[in-house]
Amino acid sequence: MKALLFALCLLPLLRLAWAAWHDDFGANPVEFVQRWTGIWTFNLLLLTLCISPLRAFTGRPWLIRLRRMLGLFCFFYASLHFLSYIGFDHSFEVDAIARDILKRPFVSAGFAAFVLLLPLAATSSNRAIRWLGGRRWQDLHRAIYPIALLACVHYFWLVKATALLWPLAYSLAVTALLGWRMQAWKRKAQVAAPTPGTRVQPVHFHQQRPKSGSATD
């Protein structure tokens, strides 16, 4: 299953390679590359967020093993998206990149999302989980939620007012996935909390073993 998923995640990259080989980027090659890598970053981000609900609905725990690969491919395409931006738009000039990040809000949101992705990708290994500890690792990787929100903001600000359908669709998907998690956390908190009006009964231990034929038999 992992091998199949790995091959599927490479298909957007192969599409880029095919377009480069056949000069099939359309009228604006830079826009094509940036849009393609950005869309697939968002697609893989949504797929990563889908794993926990799918596991809960289907009862298949092995699905969780696919989440790391999806997350790493999300970072991979985000890196291509970022490199295409700093390379094509600014020729890797740091001053121009910094001014653009500060000047344009949609660039600021996208850059913030990419920066937050960096520690998640860097700590995706089993060794990093052992080093951080399960709780701290989990807290760190909850940054995926603000990253998803920043991606929505980036997409909304990027497109024209006449082309808001796709940003709206992606934002609704993010809202649904985050809403499911909030409901799950709420249910878990209700289960963990004691029911009002109930009293925990202390457990009494007999100093001696009860004799057979007592009232408890």
Tell whether the model's pLDDT for residue 200 goes beyond 50: yes
- What pLDDT digit, counting tens, does each position of 106-119 carry? 999 999 999 999 99
- Tell which residue, 84, 86, 102, has the closest CA to residue 94: 86
Tell whether the model's pLDDT for residue 163 goes beyond 90: no
Q: How far apart are CA 211 and CA 217, in angstroms?
A: 9
Say whether 152 sits in a helix, a strand or coil: helix
- State the pLDDT at residue 122: 95
Tell whether the model's pLDDT for residue 151 goes beyond 90: yes
Place of tokens 């009494």: 204
What does the longest C-alpha to C-alpha distance in the chain come to? 92
- What pLDDT digit, counting tens, does each position of 22-66 carry? 988 888 999 999 999 999 999 999 999 999 999 999 999 899 999
Tell whether the model's pLDDT for residue 201 goes beyond 70: no
Tell whether the model's pLDDT for residue 216 goes beyond 70: no
DSSP code for 208 = S
Look up residue 118 and give its two tokens.
């960096």
Q: How far apart are CA 62 and CA 21, in angstroms?
A: 38
What's the mean pLDDT when you consider all of the chain? 88
Averaged pLDDT, 81-93:
94
Amino acid at 71: G
Averaged pLDDT, 125-152:
94
Q: How far apart are CA 14 and CA 110, in angstroms?
A: 24
- State the pLDDT at residue 202: 56
**Core vs surface per residue 177-191: b (16+ CB within 10 A) or e:** beebeeeeeeeeeee
Averaged pLDDT, 123-146:
93
